[in-house]
Amino acid sequence: MLAPAAGHAGADSTRYETETFTTTYTVDGTGYHISGVRPMAAGSYPVYVRIGSIDESYVSLWANAAIEAAAERGFVAASVEYANARFGDCSVIKARANAIFDSSSAVSAISKLCASDKADCSKGVVTGGLSQGSIISVLSNDSNKRVRASSGQGTGSAYTGFYNLSEGVADSKHTQSGDRLRVINGEHDVFVGGSQAIAASQAPLVTGKTCSEGSHSCFRDDGSGWYIAKDNEVQDGYADHCFMGYGGLPLTQCAGIHVDQNYSSSQKGWELTPTIDWVTKFHRSTIDVLARGRSLLSRAVSYLTAPSTPRARRARDRCTASCDRLSWCARVSAGTGRS
């Protein structure tokens, strides 16, 4: 177990003090850098991987904000450099995703991260990315089944008029479940559309989550789904492809290299905090607890609905007496409790 366990779930205000680290990985003989942040406390932690956009530095302010937030929540978090000078079609981007997330390769980014100090990928891997990096984030589960959940910013199945990625990125074409995806797009993201309507039409194609026409917030109860950041929500008044950026020229895309203060400090659906809180809840301890709870409930229900034998009647009486008796019901159904 991690300490403090409550903070690890990303569900409360507990945060870890952090430290930085660096490592490298190799793709076809070329070395690339990894910049990371992890908790200072002793222990082993799940892993968060952030992938940048075209020409974005792996140590950009946007990348640093994301990995610092994940590390504070109890993750070994890293931003990965890769060949991002140009965009690509599905085959190109899939190859880039595989180079980062292929667990069968000893020199891939994920293998190097999983072998790094304090990292334990058996506890889960989660991902996030921007633009091309968001597509790699969505496709990460195709290469590595330890990826539990993925988020994306500036994410669509088509980019401008030149790249149709639907054969690999559309819902049901990638292996990541729709309830493990969270996409945030800006309403004036010209690369995935240029208007709220088109940006909103792209997000359901990837996540499989649909809402009524004109919606800009379309989350499931579990936080998966999508959100369209509005102009009046961002600091510079223009929610573009890189809506988390601030300081660029008006009406341009991705020109602001600084981090939007609203993005870094607010709690609405499009900002950093709720997205990191959502993606970092998918680690082994949380999922295992939920699975055990479902198993206990299933066993209890089987006894509550069992044929009316003396043993079943006694089990029903004890189970219905108090919800606290659920563990007793599980022992009975497993043959280890007294009847």
Which of 96, 108, 179 has the alpha carbon at shortest distance from 139?
96
User: Is pLDDT larger for residue 113 or for residue 162?
Assistant: 113
If you ran DSSP here, which 8-state letter would residue 115 be given? T
d(CA 264, CA 281): 19
| Range with top average pLDDT, 36-50, 243-257, 325-339 | 36-50
- For 17-44, what is the mean pLDDT? 97
Backbone angles phi, psi at 297, to 5 degrees: -65, -40
**Which percentage of the chain shows pLDDT scores above 70?**
80
Residue 307 lies in a domain: yes
- For 224-239, what is the mean pLDDT? 94
Whether residues 248 and 328 fall in one domain: no
Residue 338 lies in a domain: no
**Which percentage of the chain shows pLDDT scores above 90?**
71
Residue 290: band (very low, low, confident or very high) from pLDDT cuts 50, 70, 90 = very low
Whether residues 302 and 168 fall in one domain: no
Whether residues 139 and 108 fall in one domain: yes
Chain segment 121-165, per-residue pLDDT in tens: 999 999 999 999 999 999 999 999 999 999 999 999 999 878 999
- Arithmetic mean of pLDDT over the chain: 85
Residue 339 lies in a domain: no
Domain boundary among the residues 251, 266, 282 is at: 282
Chain segment 78-107, per-residue pLDDT in tens: 999 999 999 999 999 999 999 999 999 999
Which of 171, 275, 175, 281 has the alpha carbon at shortest distance from 227?
275
- For 199-223, what is the mean pLDDT? 93
Kindly state the tokens that stand for 312.
């079943």
Residue 231 lies in a domain: yes
Whether residues 277 and 304 fall in one domain: no
- For 268-273, what is the mean pLDDT? 94
**What would you measure as the largest C-alpha separation in the chain, in angstroms?**
77
Residue range(s) defining the domain that contains residue 225: 5-282
Total structural domains in the chain?
2
Which of 37, 138, 42 has the alpha carbon at shortest distance from 94?
138
Query: Does 226 have pLDDT greater than 80?
Result: yes
Whether residues 73 and 209 fall in one domain: yes
Residue 144 lies in a domain: yes
Cα angle 166, 169, 171; round to 5: 90
